[in-house]
Amino acid sequence: VQSDAAGDFFIRITLGHGDRTDGMLCGAIPMRQSTKSEYDGTPLSAAELHQLEECAAREGVNVLLITERRSLDQALKLIQAGNSAQMDDPDFVDELKSWIRFSAKTSIKQADGLSGPSAGNPSSPDWLGPILFNLMFKKKTENRKIAKQVVSSAGLAVFVAEDETPEGWIEVGRSFERFALMATALGLCHAHVNMPIEVRTVRPEFAKWLGMAERRPDLVVRFGRAEPMPMSLRRSVDEVIIA
């Protein structure tokens, strides 16, 4: 991680040859997705939890796996509090709507954003999708949906950098990346539920609940077993990387 004269940070990557110990993770890259559905509610084995925790381990990052039902219920209340605050924010709702690709035609054309089927919703004409969104995207309904998603999950993973710096945040990202790929390799699903850390008024309460009142949690992810959802389309590597 480096910074330029203007104080902007950037990442410099030096490529080289390494061993092949991460072959299983590399093979999971094209299959990894954020699965935004309800899961089947079955617990993970101790061996599976150990593999996830061991793979995500990085210096400078704490990974907390929460699987006890009482703790998950407590976390759910904070997740819903964050979600309620976001849904009360018109700017947040407008930005979310801007990233939804309501029709299959637009999804194929733009190859980005969130397609309806990837979130369990049918495709709809572009003129109708925003109208349906405004009618159906309600706080009570969304909080009920989130409750079903969390309750059906095997657990939550919370990623916390030891240092609140760009270097620390990048290490959190690398830790999560390995966690997500290992989950995929094990046939597990995951999805972000970052609401309690994205809302400033909820984040301190969430950190205190974790026993880390002086820290800043960075990511919250639910995990468990479920059938994969349709993939959102993405542009090719050549279209998004400038070499």
Taking only the tens place, the pLDDT of each residue in 234-243 is 888 888 887 6
What is the chain's length?
243
Any domain includes 134: no
Question: How large is the angle between the packed helices 69-87 and 90-98, nearest 10 degrees?
Answer: 90
Any domain includes 17: no
pTM value > 0.75: yes
Any domain includes 119: no
d(CA 152, CA 150): 5
d(CA 100, CA 94): 10
Question: Maximum CA pair distance of the chain?
Answer: 53
| % of the chain residues with pLDDT over 90 | 76
Any domain includes 109: no
Region 18-23: what's the mean pLDDT? Answer: 74
Res 233: pLDDT: 86
Give the CATH number for residue 162.
Answer: 3.40.109.10
Any domain includes 161: yes
Is the model's pLDDT at 118 over the cut of 80?
Answer: yes
Q: What are the backbone angles phi and psi of residue 158, rounded to the nearest 5°?
A: -115, 130
Is the model's pLDDT at 13 over the cut of 90?
Answer: no
Lowest-confidence pick of 12-26, 95-109, 219-233: 12-26
CB 235, CB 112: distance < 8 Å: yes
Q: What are the backbone angles phi and psi of residue 115, rounded to the nearest 5°?
A: -80, 150
Can you give the residue range of the structural domain that contains 178? 33-88+141-234
C-alpha distances in angstroms, 30 versus 40, 184, 226? Answer: 23, 10, 18
Three-state DSSP string of 206-221: HHHHHCCCCCCEEEEE
Q: Domain tally for the chain?
A: 1
d(CA 52, CA 219): 15
Any domain includes 132: no
Any domain includes 53: yes
Res 243: pLDDT: 65
Any domain includes 217: yes
- pLDDT, one tens digit per residue, over 147-195 is 999 999 999 999 999 999 999 999 999 999 999 999 999 999 999 999 9
Hey, what are 49's tokens?
């939890």
Is the model's pLDDT at 90 over the cut of 70?
Answer: yes
